[in-house]
Structure 1
């Protein structure tokens, strides 16, 4: 895992006070990292244009242009007067070295956005929006310095944002880059060292970005075992029984020893899934909500879920039902797996205030963190382009999701996978983290067209992780 931060200014200040590193030293390393990224996209016949702002982000771009000048064809474009002392110094150095400065936006093979970075504290003016729109229409490769221009330092967004193929973020990951709404704007994210190791630069944070190497699969190491050793997942089957079937298949493929569907018996059921009209005595975890079409017998469902001490995984329809309040207040171990619309319903029940999906998507980290602090016994899995697992004020962010997962049934499989890990002894938080990682990594690993991936493909792909 890597830390992420709402702001990194305090980390820079720490470098100045704790390690006696000057702002100029950090800037030179930032420019070196940016130059290295640009260099990979250049040849002797290609050119790069650095669009530099008036502050220190613009100065980073000037350093990079200076480092590349002489070997590569680079130029500076300065749409506004340079103001910060360091930017003025770096511009003077670039001029003395002969780095070309152009008066208008020119065609280039590589465009570098060094306008604002994380220092933007006001909405963009119309002239700047027009510049970003013009840059976004250019065919060249686009690199953002620190963060794409148009993202304000309070994590809100301007109406226009620079769309980068690659973002070179300085020092440490910025939380704003991981917002769902920016998935198509930030491109590949690479963290640049600023003269000290990342470990030395960073301090503990409640925000974590998951890595592939964090995944812990439920490999079976105990030789003296039987099906009961790996838990029993019980799934409440609704009228749309296909959703429960997919959850059951996901649970079985992810290591659960037994999987039972609770409800009316139907004819077409995979041979390895069992049916039961009531809760199995040896159940390890209960899954409910998927395929549970309203109206349903709320009294029976409430009794099934609350008349025992088993952990719960709640999804889909139950997020839209007032029973969710009783489940949350019961203090039972609980994993919630809503998509944003379902989370909006949950918040309306718990906060007595309707929060629109658009507002949730713009402030996903805030709402997820706040909810996890109000309900510390709950693990929230807020699904999205970058899925958030929230628990006790800590957020674990899974950036590996792909558009191929945007299909009905994918979430049912994920719920089943979480239930399987709980049944096998994982903590609720760990079950959510590792099931989410496996779910996303399968979608990246499978080689079929991304529009053709099915929920069953996810289950089958678990064999090859």
Structure 2
């Protein structure tokens, strides 16, 4: 896993690295520009748009590095203000690079638009306008320039972070370390492929001072999940039977199709046995159900994980009682090794079981059981309602949860502190997982998942791993990352990733 840092942390790390390793101020800017230059491999054209800060300084350095290798034109929106940017600008000016200044050229926007329209897919545009220090809103003139850039056919490069998250990059070349600002839902839509460029020292050295007191007060224990972080349930022991891999019980609500999808995913993701538990409101008779799924009127004796909420329009008191009684039976009879393949109760709770005023008390009761393994799987609307019913303080509007990674981290930390046996999978374009003071970010999910039933499949996958004895953290990370990677198999832009197609790929 890679560590992710807030912008303030990243700035602090850069400052400390310069002091600790005697790095001259200009050298990191040189290395940032060199990292961008490595992408411009074709002998074509490069348009660089520079702002007044050090992001613009990176752009001037990039122009200088490529002056004899590619046809470079620099558009300066403002005169450089940062000292390093001033130095880089002056070097470019004395070398005779073509720089068009907005303050000096009355037809600046017309010239810029004309050049951008002439660019082809073999050309490049580099966004060096604003970095991570930008706050507020874009001026109309800068917004127009970025709109023109976005319409170009050229390959688009963002220096550190797409300016104001308005520039739509093909590649975001972020400097020194992973930055939290790149992992909001808006950022996912415009960042393209995120690449971390070193600034002249190894990342291990650059990130070495994270234990300092000034960094500890900021966002910490934040990690980017990668494919190799999965712990898939491969069966390496050749002498096993179905009972070794748990029994997942999926409770059916009024929309039983969702429960069937979740149960099917659980069976496909390694659950040894999977049962659908009928309720008074379930409508299983209208569905064609795989013969591999069992149907039961009561909780199977060897249940090792319960999944409840998929397809529930509302909170079910009957379901809550089944779960609470089953959890409390562990409290009264110890490990219960005679009745289950695990030594602690496990549950995945989704949808309607998370959005009622009765939910907090219900979760309190489940979390009172020591060593319980609980995974909550809300999407952002459900997360907002859960936090409201818990009385959480802060801006937890859907917009804040989507656009502010810090808000989602705070939401996860609140819930996992309030419900200490729980791990929370906060589903969105970038999925955040909160567990025990740590946050894990899943970025590999494709837009093809934007379809009914995708969340039910994830819930079933997580339940299957809990049934097989996984800790909640590992189950959540593995299920969410594998769910995301499956979505890429048919192409991220594909529109026909139905649950049935997903299950065939699982």
**TM-score of the superposition, structure 1-length normalised?**
0.92
Pick the aligned partner of 2:398 from 337, 354, 357.
357
Checking the alignment, whether the CA contact within 8 Å between 2:378 and 2:427 is kept in structure 1 is yes
Task: Indicate the residue corresponding to 2:169 in structure 1.
Answer: 164
SS in 2 for 1:185: helix
In 2 relative to 1, CA 297–347 (structure 1 residues): closer, same or farther, beyond 3 Å?
Answer: closer
SS in 1 for 2:132: helix
Pick the aligned partner of 2:265 from 230, 234, 250.
250
Q: How does 1:381-420 map to 2 (within 5 A)?
A: 381-420=425-464
Contiguous gaps of at least 5 residues in structure 1: 152-160
Deviation by residue 1:280-317 (Cα, 9 ceiling, x = unmatched): 111101100011233x651x222101112222100111
Whole-angstrom CA distance in 1 between matches of 2:411 and 2:198: 31
SS in 2 for 1:308: helix
Q: Give the drift of 1:449.
A: 7.1
SS in 1 for 2:469: coil
Checking the alignment, whether the CA contact within 8 Å between 2:313 and 2:351 is kept in structure 1 is no
Task: Indicate the residue corresponding to 1:280 in structure 2.
Answer: 300
Q: How does 1:184-333 map to 2 (within 5 A)?
A: 184-203=189-208, 205-264=220-279, 266-267=284-285, 268-294=288-314, 297-298=316-317, 300-309=318-327, 310-330=345-365, 331=367, 332-333=372-373
Q: Is the aligned partner of 1:13 residue 2:11?
A: no
**TM-score of the superposition, structure 2-length normalised?**
0.84
Task: Indicate the residue corresponding to 1:83 in structure 2.
Answer: 81
SS in 2 for 1:307: helix
| Number of residues of Structure 1 aligned to a counterpart in Structure 2 | 447
Q: Give the drift of 1:458.
A: 1.8
SS in 1 for 2:290: coil
Task: Indicate the residue corresponding to 1:29 in structure 2.
Answer: 31
Checking the alignment, whether the CA contact within 8 Å between 1:302 and 1:323 is kept in structure 2 is no
Q: Give the drift of 1:325.
A: 0.9
Task: Indicate the residue corresponding to 1:144 in structure 2.
Answer: 158
Whole-angstrom CA distance in 2 between matches of 1:122 and 1:11: 24
Whole-angstrom CA distance in 2 between matches of 1:82 and 1:440: 42
Q: Give the drift of 1:98.
A: 1.9
Q: Give the drift of 1:57.
A: 1.0
Checking the alignment, whether the CA contact within 8 Å between 2:416 and 2:422 is kept in structure 1 is yes
Checking the alignment, whether the CA contact within 8 Å between 2:347 and 2:466 is kept in structure 1 is no
409-418 or 449-458, which deviates more: 449-458
In 2 relative to 1, CA 365–278 (structure 1 residues): closer, same or farther, beyond 3 Å?
Answer: same
Checking the alignment, whether the CA contact within 8 Å between 1:375 and 1:392 is kept in structure 2 is no
Task: Indicate the residue corresponding to 1:155 in structure 2.
Answer: none
Whole-angstrom CA distance in 1 between matches of 2:222 and 2:316: 40
SS in 1 for 2:191: coil
Deviation by residue 1:74-125 (Cα, 9 ceiling, x = unmatched): 0211111111111111111112222111242233432111112112244333
Deviation by residue 1:236-261 (Cα, 9 ceiling, x = unmatched): 11121111111110000000001011
Q: Give the drift of 1:191.
A: 0.8
Task: Indicate the residue corresponding to 1:446 in structure 2.
Answer: 490
SS in 1 for 2:69: coil
Task: Indicate the residue corresponding to 1:111 in structure 2.
Answer: 125
399-408 or 16-25, which deviates more: 16-25
Whole-angstrom CA distance in 2 between matches of 1:191 and 1:288: 40
Contiguous gaps of at least 5 residues in structure 2: 102-107, 211-219, 328-344
Checking the alignment, whether the CA contact within 8 Å between 2:447 and 2:493 is kept in structure 1 is no
SS in 1 for 2:189: coil
In 2 relative to 1, CA 283–369 (structure 1 residues): closer, same or farther, beyond 3 Å?
Answer: same
